[in-house]
Structure 1
Amino acid sequence: MKKILQPEDWGLRVSQDGELMVGGYSAVALAREYGTPLHVVNEARLRETAEDFRQSVETLYPGKTSVHYAYKCNSVPAVLQVIRSAGLKAEVMSSFELNLALHAGHKGEEIVVNGPCKTDDFLRECLENQVRLIVVDSLDELAALNKICLAEDKDADILFRVNPDYTPRGMNQGAATGSRKGCAFGLDLKGGEVTAGFDLLEEMKRVHFLGFHFHIGTGIRDPKDYSRALRCLGPLLDSTRSAGLTITIMDVGGGFASMTTRELTSRELLVYQGIERLPSSLGKATDITFKDFTREVSNTISRYFPENGLPELLYEPGRGIVSPNQFLLLTVHRVKDRPGLRKWLITDGGLGTVTLPTFYEYHEVFLCNDVRRPRTEKVNIVGPVCFASDVVYRNKLMPQVRPDDVLAIMDSGAYFTALESSFGFARPAIVSVSDQGHRLIRRAEVFEDMVCRDLLNQSVKTKEV
């Protein structure tokens, strides 16, 4: 049976007048007060979701655990504060994110560092701040890290990121981070890079191997995908022990889905981009919870390790925590009705500025002014940029919409703010709603913000004679 999503699925409600409400406040009123585009964070539910994930990890695994929120997913400082208050640590991939984590109050020992392009300067910064783990992505990185450790007289604890060459069924190539053919991440199992890494470690005195990391994709909805990926690594665990190395940490990465949105499959993407046929709903109903994922991972890990030798289990969730707890408000400024064609709803946000994930993901869209108004027509929802692809959705089933109505694009918590751009327009404000009220946590850009990095009338550097 297909899942027909309602505001209650996001912890929201509908007023007697049919308006979308968050924490007792009208979404339309928030749009009028702060302007649109506007992201709205449901603060209490965000904290609850983060705590739920952490508790599901801690209660279902008999060994030690640690949960590190993936900063790349949503790095708004006020959002990071809430997640940290729920007991989650940090996973970062850049100097910017490392400094954000430190600024948020994390100590180096609470930070895991990932990414395929760690520069020498970034590795030095990681050592200076005594991060807990550096996830080594390549043999070149391993050699560079060793050289820096010797030069700086410092030690580094590492995990090997391995590419399991496993892709969940139906996942599009852009999301398949565990594919050997389609993705650059990790040491290649089949090519012998992990074994070569073991050989290099024998000569390294300041670099300490603690275990493995893998990541198989994003928006994963089937818990068994994690156990299947772990089975791909079974022979590796045996060969590691044979090499005399002890596995004290297993990091299963992230990718846990929000159950109120999803990636389009490769087939759906082709059909949508080719003939504009958008999926009409989220798809099959599901009651899968975080506990289903963590139970599957915990049981599989326990099968591969003796009870007295269980490794510490690390998780790096992102999307599943922040995605359903933020939504994006857009105002419909113009409606174009062309006879014989679909209507065009022209809004103040689109793919070119604030909704890039709608290019490859299914998101629900509500009419905030009257959520109960029947959906009677398929329309094109587009943005303000002079760019034909500045689209939110084509062929989206919607109620009748009028100028000045407000739309809510649900699940904007994951990658919307991370991927937004200033393509001719200022980037939007973000408001957080809690039991105490609502507050601005990021103001909208102004002209001075947009040009503050630009330099005019600088002296020209000339060649030295």
Structure 2
Amino acid sequence: MVTSREPLAPSRPFEVDQDLSSPNRNLTPLTTRLDGEGRLSLGDCTLSDLARRYGTPLYVLDETTLRATCRAYREALARHYPGEALAIYASKANSSLAITALVAAEGLGLDAVSAGELLTAFQGGMAGERIVLHGNNKSREELALAVAHGVTVVADNWRDLELLAELAPSFPGPARLMLRFTPGIECHTHEYIRTGHLDSKFGFDPDQLEAVLRHLTTCPWARLTGLHAHIGSQIFELQPHRDLAAVLADALALARSLGHPVEDLNVGGGLGIRYVASDDPPSIDAWVRTVAEAVVEACRERGLVLPRLLCEPGRSLVATAGVTLYEVGSRKPIPGLRTYLSVDGGMSDNPRPITYQSQYTALLADRPMAEPNETVTVAGKHCESGDVLLKDLALPPATAGDVLVVFATGAYNASMGSNYNRIPRPATVLVAEGSAELVQRREQPEDLLRYDVLPSRLRYLG
């Protein structure tokens, strides 16, 4: 039984190079093992057993890996930054009550971008004062909800400030604000996930910064406590983060010179992870050390008292903690071209390949060490030619009913999923020490009709 806590037969690490100090550099979760029959297990739960018990597609989250990445950030900040610091989980990567509870228990904060993410954070046990609200088009309702719970609002544009001023009479006291601006720093990442360059929908233009800061000195309803800038996502380079520290320090000096009690400097997130063997991201420790040293140096050069250092990891916290299980179905060989191997999920549970041309690593759950003597393209079941999860994947011969394990799917898979073709969303289980617990139920086809309304005049009576 997958819920048994009894020791398994002798097993060995699947990847011998796994390192708790840099979990974002691993291709598989930290507890990935082979069970006594040579099958893949995670958290001492055999993955093919999980597939049979809970169905597929199935998201599986490894609690040990998630806790390890949280601790890696927390401990690296304590080790490398001489002032106060806080890692804030970017919950857009994967938002659920269970993940929120784990992240809160590990002492991290959380960033949200909607009422849904806020409510998930509150009910998952995250304190309002450890939450920041992002977004380039926040509603009145979202702003009111955030302020009522003591959440720090990240002012992204003039519209945010106008709405907050209108809501101010209902505030119990001054609203805590953080000001976001674009730093004008380019990174070598996908166009859709570069947010630090000037041509971005996020943040005030840097040329507006002084005007915004001066305007806020006339707003008694606001208390500006922080500055924020973010340069992108899935970044392997370190130099842009050094450049960002200098830009933020200049903004900090300006804000403090105008009388704002700015105590927080938020450098955003963006650290990449290892999706395929050729990826070579910095470790969490190296990233934190680079950011911390750069902020310390920039503040020292400008004679600034060190701020509290905030960072917002998302992908690098949760991606490698997750895998997705699929059942193999049909096979279509095209002589001289390729062989398509179809699975029972696809772009509705992982839209990243069709959106970003993202690459992944995958194995057969019950034959992970078999000779990979076949090259296949793994296709999803959706009515879309571009619904391809993995191209030119080396696998042992796979047949219908085999379970395919795709690694590093803990970020931007569940959270970006859809019901395309009216396919229900997968379940999620959390595994640890031989126990598997359901943390998100599988949608059923009838659930997809809950919000449909059929006018009586359209009812077919024939």
The alignment's TM-score, normalised by the length of structure 1, stands at: 0.87
Q: Please name the residue that 2:87 is paired with.
A: 67
The reply to whether residue 332 of structure 1 matches residue 332 of structure 2 is no
Within the candidate set 337, 340, 345, 1:344 is matched to: 340
Q: CA RMSD in A?
A: 2.4
- For structure 2, the residue ranges without an aligned partner over 5 or more in a row are 1-16, 19-24
Change (3 A) 1:14 1:89: same
Output the CA distance in 1 between the equivalents of 2:78 and 2:39.
Answer: 39
Q: Please name the residue that 1:79 is paired with.
A: 99
SS in 2 for 1:36: coil
> How much has 1:163 moved relative to structure 2?
0.2
> How much has 1:408 moved relative to structure 2?
0.8
The reply to whether residue 138 of structure 1 matches residue 157 of structure 2 is yes
> How much has 1:222 moved relative to structure 2?
2.8
Within the candidate set 403, 414, 418, 2:415 is matched to: 418
8 Å CA contact 2:183–2:229 kept in 1: the answer is: yes
Within the candidate set 283, 295, 302, 1:301 is matched to: 295
8 Å CA contact 1:73–1:418 kept in 2: the answer is: yes
The aligned amino acid for 1:12 is T
The reply to whether residue 178 of structure 1 matches residue 196 of structure 2 is yes
Within the candidate set 22, 31, 42, 1:11 is matched to: 31
Within the candidate set 25, 28, 34, 2:48 is matched to: 28
Q: Please name the residue that 1:463 is paired with.
A: none
Between 412-421 and 206-215, the greater mean CA deviation after superposition: 206-215
Output the CA distance in 2 between the equivalents of 1:6 and 1:371.
Answer: 17
The reply to whether residue 40 of structure 1 matches residue 38 of structure 2 is no
Q: Please name the residue that 2:429 is paired with.
A: 431
SS in 2 for 1:317: coil
Change (3 A) 1:153 1:406: closer
> How much has 1:23 moved relative to structure 2?
2.1
Within the candidate set 382, 385, 409, 1:385 is matched to: 382
Per-residue CA deviation, residues 121-177 of structure 1 (Å, 9 max, x unaligned), is: 22112222222x111001221232123214546311111101001122x21211101
Within the candidate set 373, 384, 388, 1:376 is matched to: 373
8 Å CA contact 2:27–2:361 kept in 1: the answer is: no
Output the CA distance in 2 between the equivalents of 1:236 and 1:42.
Answer: 40
> How much has 1:339 moved relative to structure 2?
2.1
Output the CA distance in 1 between the equivalents of 2:351 and 2:265.
Answer: 33
1:109-148 pair list within 5 angstroms: 109-131=129-151, 133-148=152-167
The aligned amino acid for 1:174 is Y
Q: Please name the residue that 1:265 is paired with.
A: none
> How much has 1:6 moved relative to structure 2?
8.1
Output the CA distance in 1 between the equivalents of 2:28 and 2:92.
Answer: 28
Change (3 A) 1:308 1:121: same
Change (3 A) 1:298 1:193: same
Q: Please name the residue that 2:219 is paired with.
A: 204
> How much has 1:223 moved relative to structure 2?
3.1
8 Å CA contact 2:230–2:269 kept in 1: the answer is: yes
Output the CA distance in 2 between the equivalents of 1:11 and 1:387.
Answer: 35
The reply to whether residue 283 of structure 1 matches residue 302 of structure 2 is no
The aligned amino acid for 1:167 is E
SS in 2 for 1:305: helix
Output the CA distance in 1 between the equivalents of 2:439 and 2:457.
Answer: 38
Change (3 A) 1:381 1:325: same
Output the CA distance in 2 between the equivalents of 1:56 and 1:416.
Answer: 27
Output the CA distance in 2 between the equivalents of 1:29 and 1:35.
Answer: 10
Output the CA distance in 1 between the equivalents of 2:110 and 2:100.
Answer: 9
8 Å CA contact 2:136–2:157 kept in 1: the answer is: yes
Output the CA distance in 2 between the equivalents of 1:105 and 1:151.
Answer: 25
8 Å CA contact 2:101–2:126 kept in 1: the answer is: no
Within the candidate set 232, 238, 245, 1:217 is matched to: 232
The aligned amino acid for 1:422 is N
The aligned amino acid for 1:214 is A
> How much has 1:296 moved relative to structure 2?
1.2
Between 388-397 and 31-40, the greater mean CA deviation after superposition: 388-397
The alignment's TM-score, normalised by the length of structure 2, stands at: 0.87
> How much has 1:106 moved relative to structure 2?
2.1
Change (3 A) 1:178 1:312: same
> How much has 1:53 moved relative to structure 2?
1.4
- For structure 1, the residue ranges without an aligned partner over 5 or more in a row are 262-280, 461-465
8 Å CA contact 1:17–1:370 kept in 2: the answer is: no
> How much has 1:178 moved relative to structure 2?
0.7
1:315-326 pair list within 5 angstroms: 315-326=311-322
Change (3 A) 1:236 1:81: closer
8 Å CA contact 1:210–1:247 kept in 2: the answer is: yes
8 Å CA contact 2:148–2:171 kept in 1: the answer is: no
